[in-house]
Amino acid sequence: MTANRWMLPATCLAVVLATGVAHGLFVSRWTTSNGMQIAADGLKNLPMQFGDWTATALELEESARKQTGTVGWYNVQLVNDKTGIKANVMLLCGQTRPLSVHPPTVCFLGMGLEIVGKESRVNMRSPDGNKSWGSFKWVDFKPTGETRIQALRTYWAWSRDGETWESPDLPRFSFSGAPYLYKIYVTRQIAATDEPNRDPRVGTRTAGSQDANDSELCETVLREFLPELHKVIAQNPSL
């Protein structure tokens, strides 16, 4: 698998730029607050190895960062040291308005992919089950024709503090007024099929199916990665 196939979330940001999101998203009106800068700088302390995962940094183009209000980022491909399974994590921190628009269900469609099935939500909890981490959306994508992009499953959500995650239907309005925002994508390759292998009820996965296995992997990544983010936040009393 070539590295460029795993740069889709970052490339998606460039597509957002090309569409002139909301008339330029009023770039000139944005400012970087002290709290935002502190939160963004904290992402530099996220580890490149945790649990059984080893991370390799992926490019995030400067033009995309500037135009989408991204101040700090952690954009990596993860490889499981025991199984060799791969997944991508892209975590962004920056200005609320640009980060709250254009989820993958919008921007991936301009890159030779189409949605398979319906969006679903999953509520994530800490590994001990004692704390809710909030809700994430997820959906599958498959190529529409000749493309080097593989069929993908993507989980995504936003957070005001990096600890509690939300997946509202109208994030631009839900997060209006937040001083800054975190946004996360967890993406992995799946087998391309004409129809999703899932229970027809929205938000329900069929136990034992490929769909259930794929979802378990993405959720495992979240369960193992988010505590690393929580540690970084806890180390900074200013947040």
Domain boundaries of the chain, sorted by first residue: 3-234
Per-residue pLDDT of the chain (239 residues; tens, 9 = 90+): 455 555 556 555 544 444 444 434 343 344 568 899 999 999 999 999 999 999 999 999 898 788 678 999 999 999 999 999 999 999 999 999 999 987 888 878 777 889 998 999 999 999 998 999 999 999 999 988 776 778 899 999 999 999 999 999 999 999 999 999 999 999 999 876 544 444 332 333 332 344 555 667 999 999 999 999 999 999 887 76
| Residue 103: per-residue pLDDT | 84
| Residue 11: per-residue pLDDT | 56
| Residue 203: per-residue pLDDT | 38
For the whole model, what pTM was predicted? 0.80
| Residue 182: per-residue pLDDT | 97
Q: What are the angstrom distances between the C-alpha of 22 and each of 25, 109, 116, 141, 221?
A: 5, 18, 27, 25, 33
d(CA 197, CA 210): 7
d(CA 148, CA 208): 29
| Residue 132: per-residue pLDDT | 95
d(CA 99, CA 12): 12
| Residue 206: per-residue pLDDT | 32
- Tokens 């992995």 locate to 188
